Amino acid sequence: MSHVPVMTAAVLEHLRPGNGGLFVDCTVGLGGHARALLEAGATRLIGIDRDLDALARARETLAPWSDRVELVHADYRAIDEVLDRRQIDRVDGALADLGVSSMQFDSPGRGFSFQRDEPLDMRMDRSGGDTAADLVARSTERDIADAIFQFGEERLSRRIARAIVEARREGPIDTTGRLATIVRRALPRRGYLRIDPATRTFQALRIWVNRELDGLDRFIEAAARRLKTGARLVVIAFHSLEDRIVKHTLRALQQRDALVQVLTKKPIVPRDEEVERNPRARSAKLRAAERIA
């Protein structure tokens, strides 16, 4: 299974690893961007990921540079601890390519996709925490509805939550197939649909399980504070909820704190050809900022 890194040219253009330096890839994933940074001149790289399977893949991808790379199993929201523990004060560039990787999405048994029937897990970090099945089993109808509404931007969230609560009385909702069927049945039939009606609910659950939006603002601020003057932070978001946080946080760091200069007035988006080649790029938005103070 391959994972094609998104907007690599724009990442390199903004991070400018050509003169070497220490870069931190906060979502190293399969190591695609990290490899590009090393090939382009980065002399040292710290790669963080909360998914052990991803780190194993990154280790393979980055094997030719193993003496210059350190891979760390951590949540990027712990970036300060990760750097402090290594006595690193500031870095020459930082990258966060948010969301799930195509490996996570496509790997059987992880439960991110409703295209296959498998256990309803959805945790990026399988070393602990609640699975999607746990949340669906234990949460109140109200909390389920709120999560589907907030994280899935699904207008019919209440109806779906009601159907979930009714169905779970009959038996656990612990597979992607069963959940997808419940959601599809709860929604009115329409004619032609561009996307599967379960898409938004699955996105919502994934964000909920992994607390993807919690502390994203604090992480971005922490990463920006770890940049050397003139160094840059690049963040790639994959849905509007995420991108909104990235945009507002970078703007506040510029206007309120005079810490950075935002380099992307509008987000950079992939070209059509890239989206054709790589479906994961479809909704990607890249924003970058340079440390000034």
At residue 45, φ and ψ (nearest 5 deg) are -140, 130
Q: Which is nearer to ligand SAH, 29 or 111 (CB)?
A: 29
Rounded Cα distance between 177 and 113, Å, is 9
Strand-pair category, 285-291 with 227-237 = antiparallel
67-98 core/surface letters (b: 16 or more CB in 10 A; e: else): eebebbebbbbbbeebbeeeeeeebbbbbbbb
Sheet holding 69-73, edge to edge: 69-73, 44-49, 22-25, 91-97, 227-237, 285-291, 260-262
Residue 97 interacts with ligand SAH (CB under 6 A): yes or no: yes
To ligand SAH, the closest distance from the beta carbon of 284 in angstroms equals 11
Rounded Cα distance between 20 and 44, Å, is 8
To ligand SAH, the closest distance from the beta carbon of 72 in angstroms equals 9
Question: Would you tell me the crossing angle of helices 32-39 and 8-15 to the nearest 10 degrees?
Answer: 50
Q: Which stretch binds ligand SAH (CB under 6 A): 49-57, 160-168, 170-178, 261-269?
A: 49-57
Restricting to residues 99-118, which ones interact with ligand SAH according to CB under 6 A? 99-101
Residue 221 interacts with ligand SAH (CB under 6 A): yes or no: no
Q: Which is nearer to ligand SAH, 163 or 235 (CB)?
A: 235
Residue 93 interacts with ligand SAH (CB under 6 A): yes or no: no
Q: Which is nearer to ligand SAH, 182 or 245 (CB)?
A: 245
Q: Where are the alpha helices (DSSP H) in the chain?
A: 8-15, 32-39, 52-61, 79-85, 102-106, 132-138, 141-152, 157-170, 176-186, 199-209, 216-225, 240-255, 272-277
Contact assessment for residue 164 and residue 182, using Cβ atoms and an 8 Å cutoff: yes
Residue 27 interacts with ligand SAH (CB under 6 A): yes or no: yes
Residue 30 interacts with ligand SAH (CB under 6 A): yes or no: yes
Residue nearest to ligand SAH (CB): 29
Residue 183 interacts with ligand SAH (CB under 6 A): yes or no: no
Q: Which stretch binds ligand SAH (CB under 6 A): 72-80, 82-90, 170-178, 245-253?
A: 72-80
CA of 114: how far to CAs of 57, 63, 110, 117, 193, in Å? Answer: 24, 34, 11, 7, 16
Q: Which is nearer to ligand SAH, 8 or 181 (CB)?
A: 8
Restricting to residues 52-71, which ones interact with ligand SAH according to CB under 6 A? 54
Strand-pair category, 44-49 with 69-73 = parallel
Q: Which stretch binds ligand SAH (CB under 6 A): 37-45, 74-82, 112-120, 188-196?
A: 74-82
Residue 270 interacts with ligand SAH (CB under 6 A): yes or no: no
**CA Rg value for the chain:** 20
Q: Which stretch binds ligand SAH (CB under 6 A): 45-53, 173-181, 183-191, 282-290?
A: 45-53
Nearest to 228 by CA among 290, 279, 276: 290
Residue 197 interacts with ligand SAH (CB under 6 A): yes or no: no
Q: Which is nearer to ligand SAH, 124 or 235 (CB)?
A: 124
Rounded Cα distance between 54 and 59, Å, is 9
To ligand SAH, the closest distance from the beta carbon of 59 in angstroms equals 12
Report the residue from 124, 220, 260, 281 that binds ligand SAH according to the rule CB under 6 A. 124
Residues lying near ligand SAH in the complex (CB under 6 A):
3, 5, 27, 29-33, 48-51, 54, 75-77, 97, 99-101, 124
